[in-house]
Amino acid sequence: MPSPDTERRLREHNRRFYDALWRDARLVAPERFNTWPIVAPLAAASTRRLEVAPGLRPRLPIEGTCFADISLPALRALHEAGGEAVHALVSALPFGDAAFDLVAAMDIVEHVDDDEAAFAELARVCAPGGCLLLSVPLHMSAWTPFDEFVGHRRRYAPEALLALLTRHGFEIERSAAHGMQPSSSRLLDLGMWFLTHQRKRAMWWYNRVGMPLSVRFQAPLDARPGLIDVERVDTVLLVCRRTG
């Protein structure tokens, strides 16, 4: 069982890191991400939508979607763009049971110490038959200093992730290899150094060069039924269905 002190320190690390990042970053529209061909039909069929901890990289349509995040700079930008913004933790969502038909949690559950509580909340607010769009990093053997830098608590073993989803009433419908992290460790090290020591210059390059190029050259997602072979996959995107 995670200690409250550990959870508090991890949450504060994430809040400081992402407040600073989103304060200087630009909002990227969800239509620009390679997740959009998967998201668009799901969103069109769902009037009750929630995305948890999107920062300024939302994947669900901004207008008509409720966004829950701990970063006030991100929430302000999402509100100004037409979204409903709520200050909340993934492990303590201020919504009623079965309140949403489509829930997105992209790259967030690996940041919290008590992921059982996070999945319990995602399951609670997702209506039976509803959809969960989930993205997580895989394989602790692939852990790098970048994981610690961005506030990760873990990478998931595929069998542990599947068991976690099953315990909380989710079945995997489709999945795809996913992620925008550079594969070059030297590039990651350089990025971490600049964010730490030359933040203003780093954010200038991030907003004007790094992020636009990352979005432009994303490979299309190859979503397949069930759970794909993830042996060589760094991050997986899952489309899950909430059972009864």
pLDDT in tens, 144-201: 888 888 888 999 999 999 999 999 999 999 999 987 555 556 656 666 655 665 666 6
- For residues 118-124, give the mean pLDDT: 98
* 134 shares a domain with 62: yes
> What per-residue confidence (pLDDT) applies to 7?
72
* 212 shares a domain with 106: no
* 165 shares a domain with 62: yes
Backbone angles phi, psi at 114, to 5 degrees: -100, 80
* 210 shares a domain with 117: no
* 159 shares a domain with 72: yes
* 153 shares a domain with 210: no
* 156 shares a domain with 65: yes
- For residues 70-95, give the mean pLDDT: 96
* 93 shares a domain with 212: no
Res 32 pLDDT > 90: yes
Q: pTM for the complete prediction?
A: 0.85
> What per-residue confidence (pLDDT) applies to 217?
75
> What per-residue confidence (pLDDT) applies to 168?
97
Query: What is the b/e burial string over 25-35, where b = at least 16 CB atoms within 10 angstroms of the residue's CB?
Result: bebbebeebbb
Query: How much of the chain exceeds pLDDT 90, in percent?
Result: 67
Mean pLDDT of the chain: 88
The count of domains in the chain is 2
**Cα–Cα distance, 226 to 229 (Å, whole number):** 10
* 111 shares a domain with 15: yes
Res 107 pLDDT > 60: yes
* 171 shares a domain with 81: yes
Q: What is the CATH number of the domain that holds 47?
A: 3.40.50.150
For the stretch 204-236, pLDDT in tens is: 556 666 676 777 778 899 999 999 999 999 999
Query: How much of the chain exceeds pLDDT 70, in percent?
Result: 84
* 188 shares a domain with 175: no
**Cα–Cα distance, 211 to 209 (Å, whole number):** 6
Tell me the CA end-to-end span of the chain in Å, nearest whole number: 28
For the stretch 127-159, pLDDT in tens is: 999 999 999 999 999 998 888 888 889 999 999
* 203 shares a domain with 101: no
Q: Which domain holds residue 130?
A: 4-180+220-242
**Cα–Cα distance, 114 to 137 (Å, whole number):** 16
